[in-house]
Amino acid sequence: MLRYLFVDMNSFFASVEQQERPELRHQPVGIVPMLTDNTCCIAASYEAKARGVKTGTLVREARTLCPRLHLVEARPRLYVQYHHRIVTAVESCLHVDQVCSIDEMYGRLMGAEREPQRAAAIARQVKAAMALAVGPFMRCSIGLAPNAWLAKVASDMQKPDGLTIILPAQMPAAIGKLELTDLPGIGGNMQRRLHLRGIYHVHELCRLSADELSAVWGSKVHGAIWWHQLRGHDLPYRPTTAAPSATRTFCPRSGAPSRGPMPCWCG
């Protein structure tokens, strides 16, 4: 049964600029914190990504990779305005339970919404509402899954404009071919710890027992969380004291909320 719908905006900052400025549409765009060569791109349009420019690419290198690149200075206030319009568009289809970052949010599916066909229809409604109320250049990838963590993983599996469904019966095969670092919560350090234990692939991670996962993470609680989330189990909701989204501000570099504790594993 599906329980969560996760929305991840595609190339968010660059898409806002393409929505706002028609001359940038279908063009390679790199968003920078300031117009100088001594900085890096904090976002790139899909046209720029196709030429090798990505978040973190130095401006000098980006110009070499893509001589026609349009460099645009970030407008954080505009991106926050778009964020609120996007939350409203999603809310018109499904209640947003959690805003994870400036371009990521999820809602819980209830009753008949949990049927795959109905859930997929809601996902398509979200995309249509976004195009109508915010703009056709604001595309998103949506993940549908039995827990919020897997829904985020699913939203990352098809970009841009993706819709990926992971059913409980498809676990762990549905994510078996991903890289370890494709999983939220596994960064470079954790990847190294897993490598030291001979775990190089997600399908190997999925075979570990809760005790083995606890040993890797150095915590019984985290071991149990990973064992359950890898099996699609819906873990109890963990309340946070994050600021309500109406007053939340975001880091223009990462898009993560810049006030209050992080609400979850996003950002």
Q: Which residues are catalytic?
A: 104
Residue nearer to Mg ion on the CB measure, 66 or 142: 142
CB of 8 to Mg ion, least distance (A): 4
Residue nearer to Mg ion on the CB measure, 9 or 194: 9
Which residues lie closer than 8 Å to 18 by C-beta, 6 or more apart?
Answer: 24, 25, 27, 29, 45, 137
- 101 is an interface residue for Mg ion by CB under 5 A: no
Residue nearer to Mg ion on the CB measure, 9 or 199: 9
# of chain residues touching Mg ion (CB under 5 A): 3
CB of 12 to Mg ion, least distance (A): 5
Token reading at 212: 């083995």
**Which of 107, 139, 103 shows the shortest CA–CA distance to 2?**
107
Residue nearer to Mg ion on the CB measure, 18 or 214: 18
Lay out the site mask for Mg ion across 102-121 (x = CB under 5 A, - = otherwise): -x------------------
The single residue listed with the structure tokens 């600029």 is: 17
Cα four-point dihedral sign 208, 212, 216, 218: positive
In what side-by-side order are the strands of the sheet with 98-101?
98-101, 104-108, 4-9, 140-145, 163-165
Q: Near Mg ion by CB under 5 A, which window of 45-53, 99-107, 154-162, 259-267?
A: 99-107
Beta carbons of 267 and 181 less than 8 angstroms apart? no
Residues 83, 10, 141, 254, Cα dihedral to 10° = -60
CB of 112 to Mg ion, least distance (A): 29
CB of 200 to Mg ion, least distance (A): 27
**Which of 53, 40, 42 shows the shortest CA–CA distance to 17?**
42
Q: Near Mg ion by CB under 5 A, which window of 6-14, 146-154, 190-198, 214-222?
A: 6-14
Binding region for Mg ion (CB under 5 A): 8-9, 103
